[in-house]
Amino acid sequence: MHDALLKIEELCQQKNFVKAELLAWPLYKENPNNFICAKALGISLMGQKKIQGAIDILLHAYELNSNDFDVTNNLSYLYIEIIDTEKSLEYGEKALALGPQRPEPYLNLARVFMILRKFAKAEEHAKRSIELRGGFIKTAEQGFGDCFEFLIDSLIAQNKKEACIEICAQVLDHVHLFVCLTALIEMDISKVKTKYLDRVKNFITHNPSEDKDSFLQTKAFCHFTMAKYFEKQKDKKSSEDHYLNANQCVLQWQRFLPLNRQKNLLKSIQLFKSINQDFKIPEKKGEGIIFILGMPRSGTTLTESILDTNSDLFAGGELLYFEHQIKDKIFENEEINNFQINEEFLIELGDKYIQQINFLKNGKKYFSDKLPDNYSYLGFLKLALPGAKFIYISRDPWDNAISIFKQQYLSNLLYSSSFFNIGLEYSNHLAIVDFWKSYFGENVFLSITYEELVKNPNLIAQQIWNFCGFSGNADFEQRSSFYARTASKTQVRGGIHSYSLKKQEFQSSKKIFEEAIKNQHYFWSKKLM
């Protein structure tokens, strides 16, 4: 067993988590009460982003040994991933007690405080994490960009723009760090020195790593950074070229499997078509919860920023609870034919979600969840939380596609690096939304468009207000202080404008995108007949 554990540890260090899991499972089954076996399996699952599975195993490891720093700290991190801030805070404080001079728990707690909108505390903990790593320069040299990401985010949230610029410039004068350069480009491009850009150009042509995937990832970062720079400089040609090169690097490194996505969506449809019972879940359960649905980059963050001007609402951002629960229970369940949607499943789904958000919203009457992909799970949400309201925002398909393509999603949105793949996903999106409307009725959500919202913000805001049952009116002046923990965090604070409508970029790829939508529409028309 000792040799096997050493091999698992070696594989985890090499980031070969799939092989590590294959070795760890039989070992764990033979020795379920062995702490080291449980820990090894939990880490291998965590490395693959099998979040709920990793939590379950590491909780068992914690029961076996509550004094292990790594297990405790990893639990804090994993609970952040599903935005269970209460549990993350609990294990983060325990990890801090076990390792008060370790930088990792401070960073986890900084993330928690960002979600709780306690921005000053987030800044304090991010700075402490950096301090324990040896300060700004040493932390940057070690490649801990996530420390700066949360420090920068906390400063932006507090409108400490000058302090943020100063830190980014200080770091970049000594060592390159993408998160600092990207932030500087967004905040004040005049502070971007030639030597910063020269470093980026050097990374593009010189491989600092023997690992091909690492090199491709670095090149992708470089091209995205240069694309943002030239976009700010209004050099359209150079910007487009770098966006195309960035996404080409991602395509060589990551692979989108559209058939897997189709399979999962068909599972949802299959399940809902098989429902033959009335559930006795109270109609008011979930009252006060507002889900904002749509494609990524369709205007979900803008919509939430308007909702946030209601002082009785806590803007929850993108919660991953349903995504993880449903993926584990349904989408990754190969025995789908044996799975039934029953009251017990739905009650537990709704109860755990309400428990999570109650800690977040801290007594406020309303709560918003703007994870765009919740449209995939709308049926589950509707049945588990009958009192919840849904706002669906759509956007011109091509404008939406361009905005997705230009965003640095890397491995977080696998279809984002190809207009063909974006077209496939857009068509999947339309099909599943149409299914929910046919299943629950056209009034299952308030439907708005991004175009209407930016052209007539006051009118659409009033429609949203009436739909949600809010009193008073949206305060657009207050909206400028809204902070989003998403790709839109810098854009959303500006005024509402229409310059992002009817984009004329990447015209050579438009036909590819439209053909993908057409082909995928044909697929769904056959499946939903």
Q: How confident is the model at residue 496 (pLDDT cuts 50, 70, 90)?
A: low
Q: How confident is the model at residue 247 (pLDDT cuts 50, 70, 90)?
A: very high
User: Is the per-residue pLDDT at 453 higher than 50?
Assistant: yes
Q: Identify whether the C-beta of residue 196 lies closer than 8 Å to the C-beta of residue 181.
A: yes
- In angstroms, the Cα distances linking 171 to 139, 147, 148, 465 are 9, 12, 10, 44
Q: Determine the pLDDT at residue 521.
A: 86
9: phi then psi, degrees, rounded to nearest 5: -60, -45
Structurally, what CATH architecture does the domain formed by 1-102 represent? Alpha Horseshoe (1.25)
What mean pLDDT do residues 345-369 have? 91
Q: Identify whether the C-beta of residue 263 lies closer than 8 Å to the C-beta of residue 424.
A: no
Q: Determine the pLDDT at residue 259.
A: 81
What mean pLDDT do residues 311-332 have? 81
What mean pLDDT do residues 325-350 have? 73
What one-letter code names the amino acid at 377? Y
What mean pLDDT do residues 174-203 have? 93
User: Is the per-residue pLDDT at 361 higher than 70?
Assistant: yes
Average model confidence (pLDDT) for the chain? 88
- Most confident range (mean pLDDT) of 98-102, 259-263, 500-504 is 98-102
User: Is the per-residue pLDDT at 483 higher than 90?
Assistant: no
From CA 175, how far away is CA 136, in angstroms rounded? Answer: 10
Q: Fold match between 1-102 and 258-527? A: no
From CA 406, how far away is CA 282, in angstroms rounded? Answer: 43
117-146 per-position pLDDT tens digit: 899 999 999 999 999 999 999 999 998 999
Which token pair is 5?
A: 């554990």
Give the Cβ contact number of residue 529 at 10 Å: 5
Answer with the residue of higher pLDDT: 287 or 14.
287
Which token pair is 150?
A: 């949360």
Strand extents, DSSP E, 363-472: 366-369, 389-394, 446-449
Q: Determine the pLDDT at residue 492.
A: 45
Q: Determine the pLDDT at residue 429.
A: 93
From CA 519, how far away is CA 428, in angstroms rounded? Answer: 11
223-243 per-position pLDDT tens digit: 999 999 999 999 999 999 999
Instruction: Give the Cα-Cα-Cα angle 257, 19, 82 (nearest 5 degrees).
Output: 60
Q: Determine the pLDDT at residue 206.
A: 77
From CA 490, how far away is CA 23, in angstroms rounded? Answer: 44
Least confident of 58-62, 252-256, 459-463, 479-483: 479-483
**Residues ≥6 apart with Cβ < 8 Å to 171:** 136, 137, 140, 148, 177, 180
Strand extents, DSSP E, 42-83: none
| Domain layout of the chain by residue ranges | 1-102, 258-527
User: Is the per-residue pLDDT at 338 higher than 80?
Assistant: no
Structurally, what CATH architecture does the domain formed by 258-527 represent? 3-Layer(aba) Sandwich (3.40)
**Residues ≥6 apart with Cβ < 8 Å to 355:** none
73-84 per-position pLDDT tens digit: 999 999 998 888
Task: Give the closest residue to 281 by CA, choosing from 390, 349, 388, 383.
Answer: 383
From CA 496, how far away is CA 498, in angstroms rounded? Answer: 7
Q: The whole model's pTM is what? A: 0.88
From CA 125, how far away is CA 298, in angstroms rounded? Answer: 33
What mean pLDDT do residues 386-395 have? 96
Q: Identify whether the C-beta of residue 425 lies closer than 8 Å to the C-beta of residue 261.
A: yes
Rg, C-alpha atoms of the chain? 23
